[in-house]
Structure 1
């Protein structure tokens, strides 16, 4: 079976590299082809990498709390770039302040993200969701 390709990175002005490296390692070990664009990445870098590699999923990480701002309009930009069917994941500390998770998740799903992961989500959960969403189960 051909490996599914994921574009992974940390969006916006966020420079949290350790979690990104852990995700890269764990997702690679789980059998995915991971294209890690690193930290401090604008939406365009995720999208360009996905187009260039024919990726199946974009995995956006954000820990500094401004993910909601950084992710606005990403689904539309994906669609404009010919990535209408790409699966979008986002996770981490994606909003500032204490907010009800259900509300946060609802807003990100309204922005076109397929899965929205709260802080502290295990990599095993992410891998399980990827396998489900990619029909690998």
Structure 2
């Protein structure tokens, strides 16, 4: 199996479609995905990151309250000496008028990458491969030489 990635929807958010699609894309790319599902607390993210010695924690939020839900997440991860890369994506703020301000806010909270709700899953996979130096294993091929 590949590098372990924790995935979930934070807070009271119950939007499941996005993380399901992302889970499939990450699994197909060779990552070992632990999907925590919807309505995941910060404590659950931190506990899963510790339990699975994860390389990345991916937080999703579509209901617009991620600013509140993510307060203190990185402190909790640091307190457990978790050094996973962290991503967040979705509709992160109610009235998200200025995406640059929203992205900067979540960068200040400690997220390594911030994605909007329109991000293609392949962009997340590519970013994780770069950030984790993950190489998807190519199936080995053997050449059979025929003697004439």
Calculate the TM-score normalised by the size of structure 1.
0.95
Q: Does 1:97 align with 2:134?
A: no
**Structure 2 CA distance for aligned equivalents of residues 99 and 133 of structure 1:** 29
Aligned to 1:62: 61
Q: Show the 5 A alignment for 1:27-106.
A: 27-83=26-82, 85-106=83-104
Aligned to 2:24: 25
The offset of 1:56, in angstroms, is 0.5
Task: Please say which of residues 39-48 and 15-24 is displaced more in the overlay.
Answer: 15-24
Aligned to 1:113: 111
CA deviation map 1:71-126 (0-9, x unaligned): 1111111000121x210100000100032111111110100000000111000100
**Structure 2 CA distance for aligned equivalents of residues 107 and 98 of structure 1:** 12
**Structure 2 CA distance for aligned equivalents of residues 80 and 10 of structure 1:** 22
SS at match of 1:61: strand
Native 8 Å contact 2:42 2:73 kept in 1: yes
Coordinate RMSD, CA, aligned: 1.0
Consecutive aligned runs of 4 or more in structure 1 exceeding 4 Å deviation: none
Gaps of 5+ in 1: none
**Structure 1 CA distance for aligned equivalents of residues 74 and 52 of structure 2:** 18
Calculate the TM-score normalised by the size of structure 2.
0.88
**Structure 2 CA distance for aligned equivalents of residues 98 and 7 of structure 1:** 26
Aligned to 1:4: 3
Q: Which has the higher strand share?
A: 1
